[in-house]
Amino acid sequence: METYGGRRGQAERDAITVEIGYALFSALFLAAVCFGAVAGPALLFDLPHTVELLLLRVGMVVAPVLFAARVISVLVRFREERAQPSQPGRTNPDS
């Protein structure tokens, strides 16, 4: 933001949009890979019914949890990097 409490500029809005896109696509990739790793054997091999059911259910629980965790971690990290200074207009005396 250009001034404290002001409106966001186009560059900042673009940065937020790119970061949200990155968070969603990287989370989707992570969830798909983990689901494939957990539930893949149940889909590829002839396993006992109980084991197949267990692997599919674990995969369906783990994938959305990892998706949400990845999106949240990326967006929180982005927000922390863009934190406003505690005293706007002040510079660090060590710089």
Give 2-7 contacts, CB < 8 A, sequence gap 24+: 4/84, 4/88
Please state the pTM of the whole predicted model: 0.72
**Cβ atoms of 91 and 43 closer than 8 Å:** no
Residue 68 has pLDDT above 50, yes or no: yes
Residue 71 has pLDDT above 80, yes or no: yes
State the pLDDT confidence band at 83, using cuts at 50, 70 and 90: low
Residue 49 has pLDDT above 90, yes or no: yes
